Amino acid sequence: MADARWLDEREAHVWRSYHRLLRDFGGAVDRQLERDAGLSGADYALLVPLSEAPDELLRMRDLGTQVDWDRSRLSHHVSRMEKRGLVSREDCPDDARGSMVRLTAAGRGAIQAAAPQHVETVRRYFFDPLSAGDLEVLGRVFDRMLARLDEDAEGDPCTR
Amino acid sequence: MADARWLDEREAHVWRSYHRLLRDFGGAVDRQLERDAGLSGADYALLVPLSEAPDELLRMRDLGTQVDWDRSRLSHHVSRMEKRGLVSREDCPDDARGSMVRLTAAGRGAIQAAAPQHVETVRRYFFDPLSAGDLEVLGRVFDRMLARLDEDAEGDPCTR
């Protein structure tokens, strides 16, 4: 398919590297969390916003928005974490149909145990290979990509 | 947690942008595939290696390795795609327990219909915002990150 807009060799290389990076970097982070704290990447993804929320408490709906999971996936995963004692569910005081999720002491302990080595892993594979100049380029490039995504999302009725 | 190895403000910004990018870029790509070809991101992920394989035929095991999915997820998804006529399953000639997946004419049609606009989407959000210099930095940085991941994976008995 010889289209002028098709990816050239260098772009195709960067594109393949980007996908390998998503996969291998995600794998390395997940293995570290599992090994050092018995947490999955999904557990960690939910524990972070809860640990940063006022009173370590969030509406299910807001937690879902923060991690961008659909309601069914979120509800199943919160149930599994509740059985392991990492979070607890509570009724929402001003919305009979709503429900809230709270970090438990065990959940707080788990994320505190995992965090330092998680940051080490992120450093080792993501930040240490960057020079100061690379970091600046990456910051600028990501901001520009996000600005365009935001721009288009505003005009698209299918995005939230 | 004032640790010298904790992320500084600029790093934390890049790290949050990276995660927003994963989510919003993935979302934009998925919506385009759904709208233009009725495919999910997962469908597309499997159709690509099949369309590039000799005779458009792969062992399940090799397809799983290429997309880095576990056996159960792959098997369920292939069954759903088989029901929609996008792929067919065949026995593996030299391995009684193995099975093969083949792209059907409908599967070939679906990926051919999706591909041009998929590439347009990738261009719009990923490559167009990059200058030639940015692209070079990104290529170099990704290669360096992957080299370190590969290096560590070689010494780790838990990685394949």
For residues B9-33, average pLDDT = 90
Per residue, what are the HEC states of B119-141? Answer: HHHHHHHHHCCCCHHHHHHHHHH
What digits encode the pLDDT tens for the residues B42-79? Answer: 999 999 999 999 999 999 999 998 888 888 889 999 99
User: Comparing C-alpha atoms, which of A18, A63, A59 is closest to residue A42?
Assistant: A63
- The letter for the amino acid at A70 is D
Question: Across chain B, what does the average pLDDT equal?
Answer: 88
From CA B124, how far away is CA A137, in angstroms rounded? Answer: 19
Of all residues in chain A, the percent with pLDDT exceeding 70 is 92
Give dist(CA A125, CA B150) in Å, integer: 10
Two structure tokens written together for B51: 């369309």
**Given CA atoms B127, B130, B132, B134 in this order, what sign does their dihedral have?**
negative
Question: How many angstroms separate the CA of residue A77 from the nearest CA in chain B?
Answer: 17
Per-residue pLDDT reduced to its tens digit, A64-80: 988 888 888 899 999 99
Q: Is B4 on the interface with A (CB under 8 A)?
A: no
The chain-wide mean pLDDT, for chain A, equals 88
**A12 CB within 8 Å of a chain B CB:** no
Task: For residues A19 and B25, give the distance between their C-alpha atoms in angstroms, rounded to a whole number.
Answer: 12
Q: What is the tens place of the pLDDT at every residue in A26-65?
A: 889 999 999 888 999 899 999 999 999 999 999 999 999 8
Model confidence band, residue A5 (pLDDT cutoffs 50, 70, 90) = low
What's the whole-number mean pLDDT along residues B120-131? 94
Q: Can you tell me the distance from the alpha carbon of A71 to that of B23, in angstroms, rounded to the nearest whole number?
A: 16
Query: Which of A14, A108, A123, A136 is the best mutation test for B, with the most CBs of B within 10 A?
Result: A14
Copy the structure tokens of residue A38.
């018995």
Å between A24 CA and nearest CA of chain B: 7
Residue A117 contacts residue B97 (beta carbons within 8 Å): no
Query: Does the pLDDT of residue A2 top 70, yes or no?
Result: no
A151 touches chain B (CB under 8 A): no
Please state the separation of Cα B118 from the chain's center in Å. 13
Predicted confidence band of residue B2 (pLDDT cuts 50, 70, 90): very low
pLDDT at site B159: 57
Tell me what ipTM this predicted complex has: 0.80
Handedness of CA A18, A19, A21, A22 (dihedral sign): positive
Inter-chain CB proximity B143 and A17 less than 8 Å: yes
Tally helices (H) and strands (E) across chain B: 6, 3
